[in-house]
Amino acid sequence: MQKYDHIQKEDKKIYDLILAEKKRQEDGLELIPSENYTSQAVMEAMGSILTNKYSEGYAGKRYYGGNEFVDQVELLAIERTKKLFGVAHANVQPYSGSPANLAVYLATCNPGDTVMGLNLPDGGHLTHGWKYSATATFYKSVPYHVKEDGRIDMDEVWALAKEHKPKLIWAGATAYPFMYEYDKFAEVADSVGAYLAADIAHVAGLIVAGAHPNPAPYAHIITTTTHKTLRGPRGGIIMVTDKGLAKDVDLSKKIDKAIIPGLQGGPHDHQTAAIAIALKEASTAQFRSYGKQIVKNAKALADSLKRHGLKLVADGTENHLMLIDLVPTLGAGGGILGSEVLEVAGMTVNKNTIPKDPSTALFPSGLRLGTPALTTRGMKEKEMKQVGKWIAEALAETEPYRLPTDMKERSIYLENFKKEIAKNKNLQKIRKEIKTFCKKYPLPR
């Protein structure tokens, strides 16, 4: 484990904060499905001398000198991406997932063109055309939705595509507990001549592990973050498939130009190296077992939550995450109460909208949680049963509380709520149990 000796000497305040965060991660259960723990090798690359270099452009075509070794780093990351996902082209320079997605718009659409993506409250992503995102400001967004059972309404997707003739269709989500049916989306996109972009940010590691379908045979473009289930640094990748090149022979060039000079300057070379390391780690049999275990753990955790009386959107999960519907127990907007209670008890989740949420995105009625980080620590199905029990016990402490319907009263109410639950003895007891439990499952060393 890193000791941060130089930081300690140079900046004691930052050093103390880093150690405090390290202790928080060690002593608690990280259940946010978009978070994970990287290897020490990935962290070393992120703090390496590569951070000193400027390398605008692409390998062999830089605007700066001195990039002979940086070029090799980037080419390694590219080749590992292409091999791992079975794609024709990869750009590893996006700073993160949102810039990667914006580059796809720039490469395939003109301002005002129609695009389709999953509605944010139904589990979609901001950059798939949500009304407050730049992707809806500069493009005409026509969102699709999920049905009562939580699955995407493909009949609606077909109807909207026929009516609006989108230029770009997104297949991807941030809070969707099912496997993605890329083949069905491909049929829709092909029927109207649209580009199909698969955003696999959440399931990239599952795809590599063979625990989730690969969109490469169906999509024209694939985007992903490199953290989450892929267990790398925070970064992004854009891939162009053989199908994408068959649709547009210049698609790879358009994607590259969208990144630079379209949206970004010099890439983060330390990040590129860390991505390359994570991709090498993901190519191992050990990682494939890890990816499959994530799904096993998610299903075990979902079963445990249901056994303890909690309601899940879609009644379970097919991937790494699940959504708890708190409307039956906490009413509309209860997600903010549930997330605060779990944090006091030593479990980190995020409040999240549920399909047809009776409240708003600021005060959602659900909780989103998943198993990538717990699986990295070595936990399996047996441990998930206990985690589910702790979650149910902690959420039971919200029984006396309900979020006021009057918006003006909510700030004061939440302030008092936080003060009261911080002193809750049952939550303190669970937190102590979790701290002891976590010592058996150290962070990656």
Q: What is the DSSP string of 84-148?
A: HHT-SEEE---SSHHHHHHHHHHHH--TT-EEE-B-GGGT--GGGT-TTSHHHHSSEE--B-B-T
The HSE-up count of residue 81 (CA atoms within 13 Å, CB side) is 31
Pick from 359, 350, 368: which is nearest to 403 by CA? 359
- For residues 348 and 379, the answer to whether their CB atoms sit within 8 Å is no
Spot the catalytic one: 22, 82, 151, 234: 234
The count of other CB atoms within 10 Å of the CB of residue 382 is: 9
- Catalytic, 353? Answer no
Spot the catalytic one: 54, 95, 413, 441: 54
- What count of residues does the chain have? 445
Query: Judging by DSSP bridges, how do beta strands 321-325 and 311-312 pair with one another?
Result: antiparallel
Q: What is the DSSP string of 41-71?
A: HHHHHHTSGGGG----EETTEESSS--HHHH
Q: How far apart are CA 381 and CA 387, in angstroms?
A: 10
- Catalytic, 54? Answer yes
- For residues 287 and 209, the answer to whether their CB atoms sit within 8 Å is yes
Residue at 351: amino acid letter: K
Spot the catalytic one: 81, 225, 317, 376: 225
Spot the catalytic one: 56, 153, 187, 190: 56
- Catalytic, 432? Answer no
Instruction: Return the percent helix, strand and coil in the chain, to nearest 5.
Output: 50, 10, 35
Spot the catalytic one: 30, 74, 122, 199: 199
- Catalytic, 343? Answer no
Spot the catalytic one: 80, 167, 228, 231: 228
Please tell me whether residue 366 adopts helix, strand or coil conformation.
Answer: strand
- Catalytic, 234? Answer yes
- Catalytic, 303? Answer no
Residues catalogued as catalytic: 54, 56, 199, 225, 228, 234
